[in-house]
Structure 1
Amino acid sequence: MLAWLFWGLWVAGASAIVVLWVFSVGTAFRILSGVRAGGGSNAAVDWIKMVVWPFAIRHLAGAPADRAANLSQRLSRMLVALFVAFLVATASLAVYSNLTFALPAQTHQ
């Protein structure tokens, strides 16, 4: 019974990671659309930056000042939430695997 609780936590954590990633790509898109409107950059590079946004946060600068603070703060919060969801998913998967571990059968010769 306890193993199923941690299985559910793993599913919830993995789902949260996917949902947060999708929302953060949308936020990165809004930041980069503001950058492109202000005399922006290459569209193909922008798509890559949106997908790998945690590694490209410093390259998302250049949005208009009125929106930049709000969007970058939101993106930072999503990064923290993504990290927490990853920790929950990883820890619950570790506990689940420990709870369901079965020792190999003993063979006597």
Structure 2
Amino acid sequence: MSMLAGMFWVGVVAGGSAAVVIWVLAVRLAYSLAVRRKAGATARLRVAFWPFGARQAAGVPADISASLNKMLVAFFLALLVAISSMAVYSNLTFVPPAHTQ
């Protein structure tokens, strides 16, 4: 593996790790918001699947909504870095099949 391919492998790992960390932080923030609003069990469970939807609920403070918006942008940016690094890595490590007659 070349050094350039290794650099893009690091990009895949870093982007994927950042996406997971941002998701966990968003779930913690959305769950604490659901607890403060005394939401039901289904609403608390929903924040684990899509925590960024909590920013659209009625009565969400502006600072929490802004934080979730920023986390949403950062999450998709981290996914974009991971996916684009994966594409470059796969192109750099591609070995064409042997030509046979």
Q: TM-score, normalised by structure 2?
A: 0.88
Match of 1:78 in 2: 71
The runs of 5 or more residues in structure 2 that have no matched partner are none
Size of the alignment, in residue pairs?
Answer: 99
Match of 2:85 in 1: 92
Identity of aligned pairs, percent?
44
Match of 2:5 in 1: 3
**Aligned 1:6-85 pairs, distance under 5 A:** 6-36=8-38, 41-55=39-53, 57-58=55-56, 60-63=57-60, 68-85=61-78
Cα deviations by residue, 1:4-47 (Å, 9 ceiling, x for unpaired): 000001000000000000000001012112211xxxx3222321
d(CA) in 1 for partners of 2:54, 2:33: 12
Runs (4+) off by over 4 Å:
none
SS in 2 for 1:75: helix
SS in 2 for 1:85: helix
Question: Whose Rg is larger?
Answer: 1
Q: Is 1:105–2:94 an aligned residue pair? A: no
Q: Note the aligned Cα RMSD (angstroms).
A: 1.5
Q: Say whether the 8 Å CA contact 2:52–2:69 is kept in structure 1.
A: no
Q: One-letter code of the match for 2:88?
A: V
Deviation for aligned residue 1:56: 5.2
The runs of 5 or more residues in structure 1 that have no matched partner are none
